[in-house]
Amino acid sequence: MCSSSPGLYPWLCPPDIASSHQLPTTSLVTFGKIEENQDKRNIPTSSTRGVTTIMFSLKKEVGDLVKALQLFQEKHVDLVPIESHKSKRRDSDFEIFVNCDTDHEQLKELTQLLRRHTDFVGMTPSDNFPLLEDDMAGVPWFPEKISDLDLCVKRVLMYGSELDADHPGFKDNVYRRRRQYFAELAMNYKHGDPILRIDFTAEEVQTWGVVFRELCKLYISHACKEYLENLRLLVKYCNYSEENIPQLEDVSHFLKERSGFIIRPVAGYLSPRDFLAGLAFRVFHCTQYIRHSSEPLYTPEPDTCHELLGHVPLLAEPSFAQFSQEIGLASLGASDDAVQKLATCYFFTVEFGLCKQDGRLRAYGAGLLSSASELKHALSGKARLLPFDPTVTCNQECIITTFQDVYFVSESFEEAKDKMREFAKTIRRPFTVHYNAYTQSVDILKDTNSINSMVKDIRHELDIVEDALKRLRAPDTGVSGD
């Protein structure tokens, strides 16, 4: 039975779900300028020699390759075979792969020269010096395992009863004490703890109910189909309704079984770097406080109405969850400028994104799906729309006090994900990362040993696929040992 006024919202009543899917009964990020991160890594160096593959990109211009190779000659670096491939980044470029036998100091000087004279792409270092000191010295600290997020959430930029003078609850001391209570709960939370169940006040439930009721009137004609499908499930399994504010612990269990995401309480605004780092581990930082009751359809900051109605339904969608995680993974160890660009892309997709479905525009951004007025504006036909292109989107101004100047449209989640993957490849890091779902940690791929270990894992996965295909071809007779 649907607990959310089926007369008003019949589409919220979920169809019967198979018993195998039975479940137990954000986005807080500021998009201001990122301060320079002073927490840097110290990586040991080596003076021994080793063979390293250097990759750099060149335009299709006469003499460019000769000029680049002269840099190797000037540094007395011995070259092994040279290969060239058409660039996957830009059609007009070629990528050159050069194996060179060199020591650490030569390699350091050579890469500095290549950065000045070519579009330097990267390298696959030898085991003798996995990462150059000058490459890693400026890499900001980032969490390598999920429990490291305990450190990130301590660095909140604003939280608790610290409200701006124009905040609706600024003069309400009762509200400010309530906000301080939620902040202390979040600051004391550690990874692995159960999320404390909240006894919400009648005023808080009433405020939630107003938001829920007004938004549900719009969802059937404005929200994407994946959102609608998962909201129905949340009504059934997490008791989403006008009369009840869902508990974060229940929502976290629901997400874990649907997409692998979990919820973590947060006290206030996190920096873009810390917020995106959580996404890398499929952790969504979520507030528990409710906006002030004097203005239920307005909030100057994300609250639990925004998180639970805006973000959670699509975080339960596997494809969208992967899209969110990949933005997070791309941010680990990236420069401040790169993180700002990733955060801006997140803002105009996960927060304010539009997509096309069945020939019509639909909203998938949480900022839209938790704001009745801006949701109507974005799909009114009067808003300015542009196709989602990360290279353009990353430079767009993010507005948090009024409607956005422009909204970006994707053909699908898969298209947006593919474009973000290509964009992430342009971010310069002396390594890449791979999420290990078994250990809930990231593997830093920085040398041949770490890469070979990942290749073995991939081969094992391919063996499973090959075995499955064999069984499909011989369903009745079984698979021979030949």
* 351 a catalytic residue: yes
In sequence order, what are the beta bridge partners of 120? Answer: 56
39 CB burial (10 A radius; 0-12, 13-18, 19+): exposed
Give the helix ranges, DSSP H, for 223-271.
225-238, 248-258
DSSP H or E segment with residue 362: strand 360-363
Q: 315 phi and psi, to 5 degrees?
A: -65, -20
319 vs 227: CA distance, rounded Å: 12
Q: Is 105 a catalytic residue?
A: no
Burial of 316 (0-12, 13-18, 19+ CB in 10 A): buried
To the query of whether residue 311 is one of the catalytic residues in this protein, the response is yes
Report the b/e string of 242-259 with b at 16+ CB within 10 A.
bebbbbbbbbbbbbbebb
DSSP 8-state symbol, 101: E
* Catalytic residue selected from 222, 285, 292, 311: 311
Q: Identify the active-site residue in 249, 306, 317, 410.
A: 306
Instruction: Classify residue 379 by burial, with Cβ atoms within 10 Å: 0-12, 13-18, 19+.
Output: buried
Per-residue tokens: 161: 């009863």
> Is 370 tagged catalytic?
yes
Q: How remote is the C-alpha of 361 from its chain's centroid?
A: 23
Indicate which residue of 271, 370, 371, 441 is catalytic: 370
Q: Which helix (H) or strand (E) holds 452?
A: helix 448-473
Asked whether 300 and 162 are in contact (CB, 8 A), the reply is no
The C-alpha angle with vertex 154 and arms to 148 and 156, in degrees rounded to 5, equals 125
Residues facing residue 44 across a β-bridge:
none
| 391 Cβ neighbours under 8 A, 6+ residues apart | 423
Catalytic residue numbers read 306, 311, 351, 370
